Amino acid sequence: MSDETKAKAIAKWKNFLPRIGYPDKWRDWSGLDIKQGDYYGDVMAAAKFNYQYDLHKIGKATDRQEWSMTPQTVNAVYFSSSNTITFAAAILQPPFFYPNGDDAINYGAIGALIGHEASHGFDDKGSQFDGDGNLANWWTKDDRQKFEIRADRLVQQFNDYAPIKNVPDAHVNGRLTLGENTADLGGLSVAYDALQQALKQNPRPAGEKIGGYTQDQRFFLSWARLWRGSVRDKEELVRLNTDPHPPDSLRAIGAPSNMDAFARAFQCKPGDAMVRSGDKQAKIW
Ligand SMILES: [Zn+2]
């Protein structure tokens, strides 16, 4: 990336607004009339109330403190139009964050997710917005081209995955999932670098293993563990066509396959299933 584009990227980064746990300012719900025993009526009343609430935003400045999810939701989100990253209280608990856990575990999970949301500001879509949330091109033509060449490797990687055993022709849509895959790769890479910094500041005993695994191994295991789950084939088929996130099982392995640090941690050799090298290896952020 040229110095010119880099300076704009840093300016955007400086204008990121992190929102952690719960909103500083709570929404005023007065005027919304809810009656016990009238579910349908309540849904209609809430829809009407929210419609008016949204209409009142017209012509006013964007409120960067406004949340669109509840603190009880296990989720995190980036909005390019306000340049904000949000981590609800409910995601700040295991298996994402362990208050007494060691750094490798926490950097591999919540650390990588923080990196993931931040990277959304610089993925295929987020990178088209500036630090004030306006759709604006801040890239030189040459940098944009290089970005797209790198992104295409990630598109190809995910196009090749056919995750449903019984439907071998059903592939992931690498273009649809590019934003999420860019964010996973960027997020996990930056969290790994951050872990190395943290270990420099708070060194662990040389060669230390916890539960039989090194710090680096635990970092990647912690990432993989986030994506445990199971989905029926039919539902997976729908998601392959509609969900901008790739299947969880591929989130566990997709980003690490592009990282030299992963291969080092588990002594993988060139040609192994989770080692992408040469022009197959994707590295964006
Ligand atoms: Zn995401």
In the three-class reduction of DSSP (H, G, I as helix; E, B as strand; rest coil), residue 189 is classed as helix
Share of the chain above pLDDT 70, in %: 100
pLDDT digits (tens, 9 = 90+) for 131-172: 999 999 999 999 999 999 999 999 999 999 999 999 999 999
Confidence of residue 207 (pLDDT cuts 50, 70, 90): confident
Mean local confidence (pLDDT), 246-273? 97
First to last CA, the chain: 10
Q: Domain spans of the chain?
A: 3-21+69-280, 26-64
Average pLDDT over the chain reads 96
- Per-residue pLDDT at 190: 98
- Per-residue pLDDT at 23: 97
Question: Domain 3-21+69-280, what fold?
Answer: Collagenase (Catalytic Domain) (3.40.390)
pLDDT digits (tens, 9 = 90+) for 162-184: 999 999 999 999 999 999 999 99
- Per-residue pLDDT at 49: 97
Name the token pair of 77.
């989100």
The edge-to-edge listing of strands for the beta sheet with 17-21 is 17-21, 84-88, 76-79
Residues 136 and 127: their CA atoms lie apart, in Å, by 9
Ligand 1 mean position, distance from CA 195 (Å): 21
* 248 within 8 A of 136, measured Cβ to Cβ: no
Residue ranges of alpha helices (H) inside 56-177 are 103-106, 112-120, 141-159
Confidence of residue 258 (pLDDT cuts 50, 70, 90): very high
pLDDT digits (tens, 9 = 90+) for 61-95: 989 999 999 999 999 999 999 999 999 999 999 99
Ligand 1 mean position, distance from CA 175 (Å): 14
Catalytic residue among 103, 117, 180, 236: 117
- Per-residue pLDDT at 206: 85
Return phi, psi of residue 12, to 5°.
-65, -45
Q: List, in sequence order, every residue forming a beta bridge with 17; answer none if it has no partner.
A: 84
Ligand 1 mean position, distance from CA 210 (Å): 30
Ligand 1 mean position, distance from CA 222 (Å): 18
Residues 191 and 254: their CA atoms lie apart, in Å, by 16
pLDDT digits (tens, 9 = 90+) for 123-133: 999 999 999 99
Confidence of residue 107 (pLDDT cuts 50, 70, 90): very high
- Per-residue pLDDT at 97: 97
* 137 within 8 A of 118, measured Cβ to Cβ: no
Catalytic residue among 103, 124, 184, 236: 184
pLDDT digits (tens, 9 = 90+) for 232-250: 999 999 999 999 999 999 9
Residue 47 has pLDDT above 90, yes or no: yes
Mean local confidence (pLDDT), 254-268? 98
Confidence of residue 277 (pLDDT cuts 50, 70, 90): very high
- Per-residue pLDDT at 1: 92
Active site residue 142: no
Active site residue 4: no
- Per-residue pLDDT at 141: 96
Ligand 1 mean position, distance from CA 177 (Å): 10
Q: List, in sequence order, every residue forming a beta bridge with 76; answer none if it has no partner.
A: 87
Ligand 1 mean position, distance from CA 40 (Å): 33
* 81 within 8 A of 133, measured Cβ to Cβ: yes
pLDDT digits (tens, 9 = 90+) for 20-31: 999 999 999 999
Residues 55 and 71: their CA atoms lie apart, in Å, by 24
Q: What is the pTM of this model?
A: 0.93
Confidence of residue 57 (pLDDT cuts 50, 70, 90): very high
How many Cα neighbours within 13 Å face the side chain of 142?
Answer: 6
Least confident of 71-75, 195-199, 202-206: 202-206
Residue 228 has pLDDT above 90, yes or no: yes
Mean local confidence (pLDDT), 200-209? 91
